[in-house]
Structure 1
């Protein structure tokens, strides 16, 4: 096992006290230039790396924030992470990125890990809708911010998108193209995002004179491409088949698109298609995908800013906020043909 160089060895090599080495690392302005150079030369020669965990214990606060998302395979969450990371790096903090895989048990395990690691705070898109996991985590008094979901209480901050409006925009657009038979492909309806996007779809149908019964709902097990293909196969088996499909995210929509292509169904001539998130792959699909854009990078950035505000020097003045951003419909080829 490799030997780990300690601060005492650096001090011995440089011919100074341990306190002087500590000052060079943490408060270099307190040490004369010649001494600083000698200590830094010893650090470089010996390959010394300071123990961050020990520093955190002394300082009483971590330099790591955690980000726990539903699915790191979804580019939407990659963009959220990018926004959060930019804010963290600007404050010389690191981000621990974890994936719950939409599993409540994995979410609970990660929250326990964050408590053990004494992270500064947590950004979380929750998988457990019962609230039990977060209720247990609150006991550790580590601040957290909900991302892509509104916190149902006033006990913390949240940054989300108006998903009801997103559903309205998607289905209203399809109705404006002349469609009267619309399907909604969702992920698990235990997820509030899927519930809200369906609510918006129903609202758009209602305002056009159609009722909730006119919406065909196909619920997928997960929000990914494979489940989208399965949902597409189920739609192909319907008689009559809906002329338009709204999917709860772009990965589902891309899977539906694959299923339709495999069956020889033309998009948008025979079936129009709208996704949600406007991930990078949406515009690069075989048929460029109409999608409801979420400002994912901005969401991650604002969530991280709220978390750092709550954990920084002005924490005592922090007021919890619920930030709700507006989505935007990005129209592309996949939804533009009117039904025959």
Structure 2
């Protein structure tokens, strides 16, 4: 079957190839009647524009590349939704990829986005991304870090103060009279996790009678929270923590599930529990889970705003937008 191109559309509509191009790319330059004839020809012929070729001519696409750590985590889907909504306001789409916390997978997405000449890249990195983002910038593709402040401050970022968030979580547990606190999170190579632990450690060290046990997990998932929760529930009562701060809500929900299944530890009577992110499932759990709220949709929207400013070539200095976390208290941490 022969390929239908602009030439065939122009012939059927009785206009020049340039007029068809204007209808597709600069509709303000043609009359409504002419545009209507061209669109009728497009529909009749089943013409599909070669967007890849158009992108090569324009120098970049009308898409933004977004790489997140975990597509199964509602925090990141909420962030992506906010980015998509803001991008659509500027006629842009968002191409979503997830690294699964793997540096090599993250790199493959960045390579793809560079090949596609995307309008810009939003990245929640699995590790320090400086050299790779430098290459993107050298090829005219701006990049903004999301949910992470890089050590290389020449790249703009949109993040939450996770050190303060960790301190707020443990401060709340201490205010509830808890003193044997366990932090469950990992891998600690993820900057957000290590920052939350940093804040938790600072808050715990300010209370002489408090102790902070660090329990690492291989991933921030419900399954890992359930696994560690079972181990804690099966300890001798004197060796159990009386509070758990989970590095995200998925881990916290897994811990809660384990305690309910094992039936040996009552939350919150015997153990307080707090998570991080404030995803929808936290508030609707059998025992509603306290959490540290991040403004996920607003972060996605703001990241696109910052990226659009950089893509405009205004030449302004890198921006670093840091949102403050918010304590949301629910039944799981109230004695």
TM-score (norm 1): 0.93
Note if contact 2:59-2:117 (Cα within 8 Å) is conserved in structure 1: no
* Structure 2 residue aligned with 1:88: 87
* Structure 2 residue aligned with 1:273: 273
Q: 1:21 to 1:286 in 2, by over 3 A?
A: same
* Structure 2 residue aligned with 1:159: 158
Q: 1:280 to 1:4 in 2, by over 3 A?
A: farther
* Structure 1 residue aligned with 2:314: 316
* Structure 2 residue aligned with 1:224: 221
Alignment of 1:165-244 (within 5 A): 165-210=164-209, 214-239=211-236, 240-244=239-243
Note if contact 1:107-1:133 (Cα within 8 Å) is conserved in structure 2: no
Note if contact 2:268-2:333 (Cα within 8 Å) is conserved in structure 1: yes
Aligned residues: 332
Q: 1:193 to 1:33 in 2, by over 3 A?
A: closer
Question: Cα offset for 1:301?
Answer: 1.0
Deviates more, 1:158-167 or 1:15-24: 15-24
Note if contact 1:151-1:322 (Cα within 8 Å) is conserved in structure 2: no
1:232 and 1:243 map into 2 onto residues whose CA distance is 13
| Gaps in structure 2 of 5+ consecutive residues | none
2:129 and 2:81 map into 1 onto residues whose CA distance is 28
Instruction: List structure 1 segments (4+ residues) > 6 angstroms apart after TM superposition.
Output: none
Deviations 1:153-190 (A, max 9, x none): 13210111111111111111111111111100012000
| Gaps in structure 1 of 5+ consecutive residues | none
* Structure 2 residue aligned with 1:21: 20
TM-score (norm 2): 0.94
Alignment of 1:134-153 (within 5 A): 134=133, 137-153=136-152
Question: Cα offset for 1:60?
Answer: 1.6
* Structure 2 residue aligned with 1:79: 78
Question: Cα offset for 1:130?
Answer: 6.8
Deviations 1:231-253 (A, max 9, x none): 11222244410111000000000
**Aligned with 1:97: secondary structure?**
strand
1:217 and 1:3 map into 2 onto residues whose CA distance is 65
Alignment of 1:290-329 (within 5 A): 290-312=290-312, 315-329=313-327
**Aligned with 2:28: secondary structure?**
helix
**Aligned with 1:95: secondary structure?**
strand
2:3 and 2:98 map into 1 onto residues whose CA distance is 32
Deviates more, 1:290-299 or 1:234-243: 234-243
Q: 1:18 to 1:202 in 2, by over 3 A?
A: same
* Structure 1 residue aligned with 2:256: 257
